[in-house]
Amino acid sequence: MPRVLRMPGIAANATDAVLTEWLVSEAGEFAASDALATVETDKALVDVEADDAGVVLKTLVPAGTRVEVGAPIAVLGRPGEQVDDLDALLRELGLAEATAPVVGGPAVGEPVVGEPVVEETVVEEPPSNGRVFASPLARKIAHDAGIPIEEIPGTGPRQRVLRRDVEGAVRARQGRPAPEARRDEKTPSDASYEDLPHTRVRRLTAERLVASKRNAPHFYLRATVRAERLLSLRAELNEALADDGAKVSVNDLVVMAVAAAHRRVPELNVTWTDDAVRRWRTADVAVAVATDRGLVTPVVRDVESLSVSSVAATVRDLADRAREGRLRQEELEGGSITVTNLGMYGVEEFAAIINPPHAAILAVGAVREEPVVEDGAVVPGSVMTVTLSVDHRPVDGVVAARWLAELTELLERPVRLLA
């Protein structure tokens, strides 16, 4: 018996999502747990998996459409099932319209249902010797960019080249000079400005940070940390882990120090709710990652239970998948504090806006050489400035000051992080 596939409620409190890509076309068969489609939430791309084996009888929503949670997006059948009269089937299932409604109008850059859609549609093709499988949109983007489709590795079903594969190849070649435009043709550079449509991630980040500054009374504490021992420990760890291919960054050690400071001052490991201050039992630390689509903050779970190499590997994996847009929604939820680091860009210090519903965010600046006073004498030293932004609703100033003092001690004596 045919059944209706509906837009799942993937993210907490989400009312809609964008169906970015069909991974199985109409008449295409699939096995249990196969990915049928990719859905974009506000911060991640999530695959919609099949509960049982079957066949896609009809897709009701074109790729690139924003759809309300619970709305029908496809009709599925049993393996090998065929339907002679699809219109009659749709009426029988209560689906007079073969599309799901757009919620709240189209998002910027998203098509309205009923309009022509220039988007990625996966069409299953019989295998052919030497033939490259690619979606029409992927071929168009590759052609416009001057990249042979045969040179782009595919990540879709049967190594099909998808839009994300081509966009990655384009980004990798951005250093190449562009072909010179004809003098009698107008190009985008002739305009005095260029409008870059908001991505869903950037739009949501803007909304959340505006709400954070409006609703959470921020206060800020700053500390200057002596970083010689931190740098020395990092160098020793990387030398010891070289054979395993692991590499530890200063930021990895900061994440571990934040978790240890949470254990010492659990009053900061909290979030604010309408009815209570919620204190968390584990130190889950979010790490800010800049991507082409906007800022995302994946969470490293129970940091204190991990070794330093595990923390480094976890942060690297989350950051890589964040840039690829392949994080799972649950990896973006939870935690009470975020670590954001601009030191690699030479920024000495900055204050960050709290990532709701977290109670704090730690901004980490660059390690720099400066004269410092030691035993009454001025000597050369390595220092790093950290700035803690705190939500004053669940956390008082004294608690935040105690926490920052513990963090400073841990960073200045980092061997304690390995105990």
CATH number, domain with residue 364: 3.30.559.10
**Cα separation, 315 vs 305, whole angstroms:** 14
C-beta separation of 266 from 329 below 8 A: no
DSSP string, 303-320: GGGS-HHHHHHHHHHHHH
Residue 24: is it exposed, middle or buried by C-beta count within 10 angstroms (0-12/13-18/19+)? buried
**Cα separation, 121 vs 163, whole angstroms:** 10
Instruction: List the structure tokens of 176.
Output: 């190449």
Judge whether residue 334 has pLDDT over 50: yes
Residue 412: is it exposed, middle or buried by C-beta count within 10 angstroms (0-12/13-18/19+)? middle
**Interhelix angle 228-240/397-412, nearest 10 degrees:** 50
**Cα separation, 297 vs 322, whole angstroms:** 8
Residue 15: is it exposed, middle or buried by C-beta count within 10 angstroms (0-12/13-18/19+)? exposed
Count of domains forming the chain: 2
**Cα separation, 68 vs 184, whole angstroms:** 46
pLDDT tens-digit profile of 385-402? 999 999 999 999 999 999
Residue 137 maps to a domain: no
Q: Of the candidates 106, 124, 142, which is a domain's last residue?
A: 124
Do 94 and 214 share a structural domain?
no
Q: Residue 98 — very low, low, confident or very high, per pLDDT cuts 50/70/90? A: very low
Average confidence score pLDDT of the chain: 84
pLDDT tens-digit profile of 361-374? 999 999 999 999 88
Do 225 and 119 share a structural domain?
no
Residue-range definition of the domain harbouring residue 240: 210-418
Residue 11, pLDDT score? 64
pLDDT tens-digit profile of 41-67? 766 777 888 989 999 999 998 988 888
| 201-224: average pLDDT | 91
Continuous H helices in 241-286: 250-264
Which residues have a catalytic role annotated?
Answer: 392
pLDDT tens-digit profile of 99-140? 444 444 333 333 333 333 333 433 344 444 455 777 666 777
Q: Residue 164 — very low, low, confident or very high, per pLDDT cuts 50/70/90? A: confident
Instruction: List the structure tokens of 375.
Output: 């035993």
Q: Of the candidates 124, 156, 178, which is a domain's last residue?
A: 124
In this structure, what CATH number is given to the domain that contains residue 89? 2.40.50.100
Q: Which residue has the higher pLDDT, 379 or 134?
A: 379
Do 388 and 283 share a structural domain?
yes
| 243-272: average pLDDT | 95
